[in-house]
Amino acid sequence: ETRNIKFRRVFILDVNEGILPDVKKEDTILSDAVRRYLNLPSYKEREQISRYYFELLIRGSRESHIFYVESANRTRSRFVESLIWELQREAGKVELPNHREVFFRVDFSQDDPQPIPKDDDVLEYLRDFVYSPTSLDTYLRCPLSFYYRYVLHLREKEDIAGDLEYSEVGILIHSLLKEFFEEKRGKPLEITQRDYERMDRLIDDVFSRRYGENLRGIPYLFKIQTKKRMKDLLDYHRERMGGAVILDLEKEFTAELELPSGAKVKIQGKLDRIERRDGLIRIIDYKTGGSADTPNPGFVRDPMETWSKKLKSVQLPFYILLYSSETGTPIDTITSSLLLLGSERIEEKELYDGPYNPIFFGQLKDAITSLLDEILRKDAPFKATKYPEKYCGSCPYRVLCGRQWVPERSY
């Protein structure tokens, strides 16, 4: 890329063996004998080409700065050695006039991330932002993570490994369940032997569309696991959910919520399943992870910045608020629950331990509106979580915060 171009000043970094030249003597695919037979360049010829361009670049510049690392396991390039020998021969002495050693101070101390203030542009953006339960849960755990994800729109690092991503598992299972229960809408839920066979065929079809006909490795094992888990799920529905009437599947709602400050914000969410059961409207959210927590009433006695330990998530009360605001359904006739699909056994976790509790729901609603009010306050900067050991290990932004010292967590 530097051929036929002359520069006034050149900086060349990492001029070490193995980097420049980046030439291996052994070729694991084509031996030297085969290369000669095919009239392909050998490693010696490739090294000569690298040397030619290196020397051409230096001789074509007025000033060149060459950097290399010297350590127990790294040596400077043979190109540098040749250059040094040539300069020594011309000067008639061993010392080099412009040779400098550079040492770097290494500091492994970790400071806490600094809060990010909100300017007028950010506040205007936040006032127009449409809030989802996921965005509020992110803010609840770590306001700084909310800033990186929803204000700066920094995407997570993509993993090109062959493993299935957690998000991909969730998307596939949600799609499968929507397709299966679509046939059950609007009538009392009943699971028969025919449904087990239909679920098996549907899994085959969904996996074929996603991964092709000839499954191998991780997708194949995931398919086998999915078939067993879906059988467990149908058993659970047959034993505990018979008679429920499914009203909607993966339905999106948008509503406007008034905050204690008088501001109004838009809220939005996709409800996995809405059904009528035991005289109540029930909103069900599927969870493919191994565990999920529902709010603990004790959070109201703690400062807001510590709510994540007991409040844990606002998803279930958020869905009730959203559904009631959009449809006009009274709050006391709606409940919500998590259907845990990834735990040891299928389990449904309710928002309420018993019947509707107006005091507890009032506390949950106040928590949601308080979080939104704080997000819109200029004097409330985006701060890092108070519980780095709990949240930073699985956070994609931990390097930005200087919290890569927290052990990485996988779920």
pLDDT in the model for residue 25:
62
Same domain, 286 and 370: yes
* 23: containing domain: 9-91
- 8 A C-beta contact, residue 287 and residue 339: yes
**Strand 63-66 to 130-131 pairing:** unpaired
Same domain, 182 and 270: yes
Q: Is residue 232 part of a domain?
A: no
Q: Is residue 323 part of a domain?
A: yes
Cα separation, 261 vs 207, in Å, equals 49
Render 84-115 in DSSP notation, one character per residue: HHHHHHHHTSS--TT------------PPPPP
Same domain, 139 and 46: no
Same domain, 76 and 125: no
Same domain, 312 and 379: yes
Same domain, 67 and 135: no
Render 41-80 in DSSP notation, one character per residue: --HHHHHHHHHHHHHHHHHTSSEEEE----BTTB-B-HHH
Same domain, 77 and 133: no
Q: Is residue 99 part of a domain?
A: no
Q: Is residue 141 part of a domain?
A: yes
Q: Is residue 409 part of a domain?
A: no
Name the residue type at position 292: A
- In 3D, which of 319, 329, 411, 331 has the Cα closest to residue 368? 319
Q: Is residue 205 part of a domain?
A: no
Same domain, 160 and 254: yes
Name the residue type at position 40: L
Same domain, 140 and 285: yes
Same domain, 133 and 280: yes
- 8 A C-beta contact, residue 305 and residue 386: yes
Same domain, 171 and 314: yes
- 8 A C-beta contact, residue 169 and residue 341: no
Q: What is the DSSP letter of 328?
A: -
pLDDT in the model for residue 198:
96
Q: What is the CATH number of the domain that holds 268?
A: 3.90.320.10
Cα separation, 385 vs 368, in Å, equals 18
pLDDT in the model for residue 103:
80
Q: Would you call 209 helix, strand, or coil by DSSP?
A: helix
Render 234-282 in DSSP notation, one character per residue: HHHHHHH-TT-EEEEEEEEEEEEEE-TTS-EEEEEEEEEEEEEETTEEE
pLDDT in the model for residue 161:
47
Q: Is residue 160 part of a domain?
A: yes
Indicate the number of domains in the chain.
2
pLDDT along the chain (411 residues), means of 10: 84 91 71 80 83 90 92 89 87 79 76 92 97 96 96 76 66 94 95 96 92 86 94 95 94 95 95 96 90 83 88 95 96 96 91 91 95 96 92 89 77 45
Same domain, 81 and 182: no
- First and final C-alpha spacing in the chain: 45
The CA-based diameter of the chain, rounded to the nearest angstrom, is 99
Q: Is residue 246 part of a domain?
A: yes
Cα separation, 393 vs 402, in Å, equals 12
Report the predicted TM-score, pTM, of the whole model to 2 decimal places: 0.73
